[in-house]
Chains A and B, each alone.
Chain A
């Protein structure tokens, strides 16, 4: 049995038609602002995408109704390549980003909810395009939450196996009802959070356009902003606190948020992953607040606010900035780099290694050390009260190993392309975790436009594999995947 090409084609057509529809909403925005020249590019792009969607639908007629592991891996990877491929058309056709490398990079940075930008004059862009830019992140975020919670657990990836009931490959009829149910509440929660944030931002005197764009990119922990200076441009403590809180909320496992909304506060509070996230946030905010207060002579409230915002932003891999942390004491941005790697909770839009794995690995090591002292005793490692299976342990560690290896190799490739030491690591860690700002010359005060083209393609690829949890893409490079078995 080989790849179910027809079924793949059918699903892709759905995704492309969805994208075309989204582009149409951007044309609406463009019209609202008196079409600053971007209307025709948005309409044309939407049309091209829609036609392609129809073609794929035709190709997927009479598709057999079975989906297996391989189909889903291929599907997800193709989706995240096709979405930016068509999604970059508005920028290219309009001419605002004339270069394919840059256009693809920016759009991949959108759909992968990274937020790294090559735009040096963001505010000169027409409203329709700026809206589309932020929308790509919102779509990308929703897509990944959906896949991570509803689909990946069946195929053993995404770290959500702790929360999934089944983990054997299903047929379409078993998968469908579950997807529909899951989709409904994920969509509700996602939309709800977005709308709530728009409201709070409006109360802070942000314009509706800005509020919507920022809400799009907060809930998806993407980090794109229609302002060149990101959130620092508003000089508003209220806005900074609001966004900090919503970033944190967006970093929590959606299933836990749902639990919280259903009133089960105790169950939420006891979640191992949430507890880790909270402790980590508190620890690093404290360290950086102290560093800013003592070493940079900032006031207490300002130190705390700056620390909280930056930590929340990078811990949840969102990427908004209210300061150039590169001018802060090195230990602060070293800590920030660390949280960029850990990410926040699984089952959210965040990137990074994620709390569920970090907590599990830590506990396994603790068991191991106890085992050294008492070799005959049996120590089981638990997460949220459930024993972690040996096979899962292996997978978690293998993931972390591959993650670090990808960072190492990616950084070496960039260095071979003449990017500096700190910059290479910064860009790769940022891209892999879907964060946004890098380090050194590519820190929060700069854009990534001056990177060599080859580096931008490498980083686009890294954004892709980071968003799709590494293995989804790596598996496509194994012989076993393509063998007719």
Chain B
């Protein structure tokens, strides 16, 4: 049944890694002479994490080398939860975030690359803790890309973008070598992009610390910033364009990015999902730029309209969450368009959240086919992506996913409203959390933190961040009775 020993062993391994990253953060604390405020709490956190890691590893030392589907689902979900629990220790122990609800929220918002924050005074935190905060997103982003590209498809979950690639269905024997190969190139692309962004930001006059923090949270499409005012604080068009471009790139399927990096430019541009995604970014940017320019509510010129529109669209389309404007002050139709963008998300196989372009592409083509089918009921009309016909099975999964996504949004909003949060706010926070965006709507828009929410809502949203990050079913499956039955 559930191979608890193996799970424990892997968990020990993951926690060991977490401790290592905490150690790196400790180095930053030393650099900034934050001995009492950060270093000691970090050392304590490392200590606790290592102890838990060792216990877990010890429990799993004679683990059988079998790993079923159920094990993998439980593993992935547990990984995110346990790492978040231990990852909040630096915040708790240092007193930077003394409240457990808030500390857990902030940490899971990190590892799920959401970026919603409860910190009303970000800049008062020790620099090393701000580093840790941004680092959690970088780790979370890398983890999710690795899982969605290399691990989940082997178990038939969220494997859409691999339609054009080789894998299909569970392949027990070949698991480890394949994961190894995938890990290598994913890690390279991820690291390369991060370094490139740091360089470009430095060229824009941003200091090294902030460049690294922002690069961490851009490539992971997380959105945490060491500045309370996010990117707007810099008042620098150059920086805004640089980040907008890197956000857009981070929204692309890593498998497709690999094509570009290995010189297969033609294939890169022919990818169906890429075309939908870029097309969508262009359409929404144009619409919003037009609205801002034509309505002129805040006296913006042509370039500024475009820049504001492009940045916000890129930010929310890729579920990053940076802001250079308080869009709730924009005309209603403009932030309503942004809400739609929040639901859509970018490409599968990237760090973004949302429903994802490939699913939208498939569903739109399916709907068009349905219409054609009404006229020619006996015609057989396949839905094609990258010129491969999509199987019925995948079509069903796409539809199921979207259905469940919307049901969860409705349910979550109702729960929040039950707790006294307003209509627009509830909808905004839930859509933001499940899509791992960051900013909400109305009273919880980009200019405000989520600190004022009731504790119960913070827990609901933490759960939703997890759900969204792990593509819904990975977590939902744990709630079905048949998961826990013997065979």
Chain A interface (Cβ within 8 Å of chain B)?
Answer: 69-70, 73, 155-157, 167-169, 330-331, 334-335, 338, 361, 364-365, 368-370, 372-375, 390-391, 393-395, 397-402, 404, 408, 411-412, 415-416, 418, 420-422, 424, 471, 474-475, 478, 480-481, 485
Judged by DSSP, the binding face of B is helix
CB proximity to A under 8 Å, residues B351-375: 363, 366-368, 370-375
Binds A, one of B43-51, B123-131, B477-485: B477-485
**Residue B66 is within 8 A (CB to CB) of chain A in the complex:** no
In the complex, whether B205 has a CB less than 8 A from a CB of chain A is no
Interface residues of B in 8-56 (CB under 8 A from A): none
Q: Bound complex: CA of A60 vs CA of B333, how far in Å?
A: 47
B232-240, B313-321, B394-402, B459-467 - interface stretch: B394-402
Q: Is the CB of B375 within 8 A of A334?
A: no
Q: With a CB–CB cut-off of 8 A, which chain B residues contact A335?
A: 414
Contact B170 A375 (CB under 8 A): yes
B403 touches A416 (CB 8 A): no
Q: Is B476 an interface residue (CB 8 A)?
A: yes
Please determine whether A393 and B372 come into contact, CB atoms closer than 8 angstroms: no
Q: How far is the CB of B60 from chain A (nearest CB, A)?
A: 23
- B229 CB contacts on chain A under 8 angstroms: none
B423:A334 contact, CB within 8 angstroms: yes
**In the assembly, what is the distance between CA of A120 and CA of B400, in Å?**
44
B333 touches A416 (CB 8 A): yes
Q: Is the CB of B372 within 8 A of A334?
A: no
Whether the Cβ atoms of B336 and A334 lie closer than 8 Å is no
In the complex the two chains form, what is the Cα distance from A196 to B158 in whole Å? 54
Q: Is the CB of A370 within 8 A of B480?
A: yes
B414 proximity list for chain A (CB < 8 A): 331, 334-335, 338
Q: Tell me whether A69 and B477 are in contact (CB under 8 A).
A: no
Partner of B370, one of A365, A398, A418, A485: A398
Inter-chain contact A412/B396, CB cutoff 8 Å? no
A-B residue pairs, 4 tightest by C-beta = A397-B399, A415-B333, A398-B370, A331-B417
User: How far apart are A79's CB and chain B's nearest CB, in angstroms?
Assistant: 18
B374 touches A155 (CB 8 A): yes
Do B482 and A330 have beta carbons less than 8 Å apart? no
Pick from B367, B375, B417: contact of A70, CB under 8 Å: B375
How far is A400 from B366 in the complex, measured between Cα atoms in Å? 12
Name the contact of B336 in the complex, choosing from A156, A397, A412 (C-beta under 8 A): A412
Q: A372-B157, A373-B480, A394-B370 are in contact. Are A401 and B375 (CB under 8 A)?
A: no
Do B340 and A412 have beta carbons less than 8 Å apart? yes
- Do B366 and A471 touch (CB < 8 A)? no
Q: Per a CB cutoff under 8 Å, which of B157, B331, B340, B418 touches A331?
A: B418
Q: Among A156, A370, A375, A418, which residue has its beta carbon within 8 angstroms of that of B374?
A: A156
Asked if A401 and B69 make an inter-chain contact with CB atoms under 8 angstroms apart, the answer reads: no
B422 in the interface (beta carbon within 8 A): yes
Chain B residue nearest to A341 (CB atoms) is B410
The smallest C-beta distance from A102 to any residue of chain B, in angstroms, reads: 24
Question: With a CB–CB cut-off of 8 A, which chain A residues contact B397?
Answer: 368
B483: chain A residues at CB < 8 Å are: 373
Write the residues of chain B forming the contact surface with A, with a CB cutoff of 8 angstroms: 69-70, 73, 155-157, 169-170, 291, 331-333, 336-337, 340, 363, 366-368, 370-377, 392, 395-397, 399-400, 402-404, 406, 410, 413-414, 417-418, 422-424, 473, 476-477, 480, 482-483
A364 & B377 in contact (Cβ 8 Å cutoff) = no
Name the residue of chain A whose CB is nearest to the CB of B169: A375
A26 to B291, CA, bound (A): 48
Residue of A nearest to B404 (CB): A365
Tell me how far the C-beta of A475 lies from the nearest C-beta in chain B, rounded to whole angstroms.
5
CB neighbours of B399 from chain A (8 A): 361, 364, 393-394, 397-398, 401
Closest Cβ of chain B to A110, distance in Å, is 27
Distance in angstroms between the alpha carbons of A395 and B372 in the assembled complex: 12
* Known contacts A402-B367, A408-B340, A412-B333; A365/B375 CB under 8 A: no
Q: Which residue of B lies closest to A409 (CB)?
A: B340
Q: Complex: how many Å from CA A69 to CA B400?
A: 29
Residues of B within 8 A of A480 (CB): 371-372, 375-376
List 4 other contacts, CB 8 Å, given A334-B414, A397-B402. A334-B423, A369-B473, A398-B366, A401-B367
The answer on a CB contact under 8 Å between B477 and A394 is no
What residues of chain A lie closer than 8 Å to B418, measured between beta carbons? 331
Q: Given A398-B363, A412-B333, A420-B332, are A365 and B374 also a contact pair (CB < 8 Å)?
A: no
Question: What's the Cα separation between A475 and B371 when bound, in Å?
Answer: 6
A415 and B403 contact, CB distance less than 8 A: no
| 20 A-B pairs (CB sep. < 8 Å) | A69-B377, A156-B377, A157-B374, A167-B377, A334-B413, A334-B414, A368-B396, A368-B400, A370-B482, A372-B69, A372-B155, A374-B482, A394-B399, A395-B370, A398-B363, A399-B370, A416-B291, A421-B424, A474-B371, A481-B375
B403 touches A397 (CB 8 A): yes
- Within 8 Å CB of A391, what residues of B? 373
Q: A70-B375, A400-B403, A401-B399 are in contact. Are A330 and B423 (CB under 8 A)?
A: yes
B258 to chain A, nearest CB (A): 27
Closest to A381 in B: B396
Q: Indicate if the CB atoms of B396 and A393 lie closer than 8 Å.
A: yes
Chain A residue at minimum C-beta to C-beta distance from B395: A394
How far is it, in angstroms, between the C-alpha of A370 and the C-alpha of B156 when the chains are bound?
12
A399 to B373, CA, bound (A): 13
CB–CB B374/A422 < 8 A: no
B473 to chain A, nearest CB (A): 6
Q: How far is the CB of A281 from chain B (nearest CB, A)?
A: 17
Distance in angstroms between the alpha carbons of A162 and B100 in the assembled complex: 52
By the criterion CB–CB under 8 Å, are A373 and B377 in contact? no
Contacts of A375 in B (CB 8 A): 69, 156, 169-170
Output the residue of B370, B395, B423 with the most chain A CB within 10 A: B370
Complex CA distance for A474 and B373, rounded to whole angstroms: 12
Q: Is the CB of B422 within 8 A of A330?
A: yes
Say how far A37's CB is from chain B's closest CB, in angstroms: 42
B425 → A minimal CB distance (Å): 10
Please, how many angstroms separate the alpha-carbon atoms of A475 and B372 in the complex? 7
User: Which chain B residues border A415 with CB–CB below 8 Å?
Assistant: 331-333, 336
Complex Cα distance A361/B398, Å? Answer: 12
- Please measure, in the bound complex, the distance between the C-alpha atom of A374 and the C-alpha atom of B400, giving whole angstroms: 17
Q: Is the CB of B372 within 8 A of A365?
A: no
Contact with A478, one of B170, B332, B371, B392 (Cβ below 8 angstroms): B371
CB distance A361 to B403 under 8 Å?
yes
Chain A positions within 8 Å of B422 at CB level: 330
B396 touches A364 (CB 8 A): yes
Complex interface: chain A residues within 8 A of B473 (CB):
368-369, 372
CA distance in complex: A162, B170 (Å): 35
A69 touches B395 (CB 8 A): no
B356 to chain A, nearest CB (A): 14
Report B172 CB to chain A, min CB distance, Å: 12
Q: Which residues of B contact A474 (CB under 8 A)?
A: 371
User: A372 vs B156: C-alpha distance in the bound complex, in angstroms?
Assistant: 7
Chain B contacts of A398 at CB under 8 A? Answer: 363, 366-367, 370, 399
| Chain B residues whose C-beta falls within 8 Å of the C-beta of A390 in the assembled complex | 392, 396
> When chains A and B are docked, how far (Å) is the Cα of A308 from the Cα of B202?
63
Q: Which residue of A lies closest to B291 (CB)?
A: A416
- Whole-angstrom distance between the alpha carbons of A416 and B290 in the complex? 12
CA of A393 to CA of B400 in the docked complex: distance in angstroms? 10
How near does chain A come to B337, taking the closest CB pair, in angstroms? 6
CA–CA, A424 and B423, complex, Å: 14
CA separation between A471 and B373, bound complex, in Å?
Answer: 11
Report Cα–Cα, A391/B382, bound state, in Å. Answer: 12
Indicate if the CB atoms of A475 and B375 lie closer than 8 Å. Answer: yes
Question: Do B377 and A169 touch (CB < 8 A)?
Answer: yes
Instruction: Check B374 against A369 for contact (C-beta < 8 Å).
Output: no
Within 8 Å by CB of B423, from A167, A369, A394, A422, lies A422
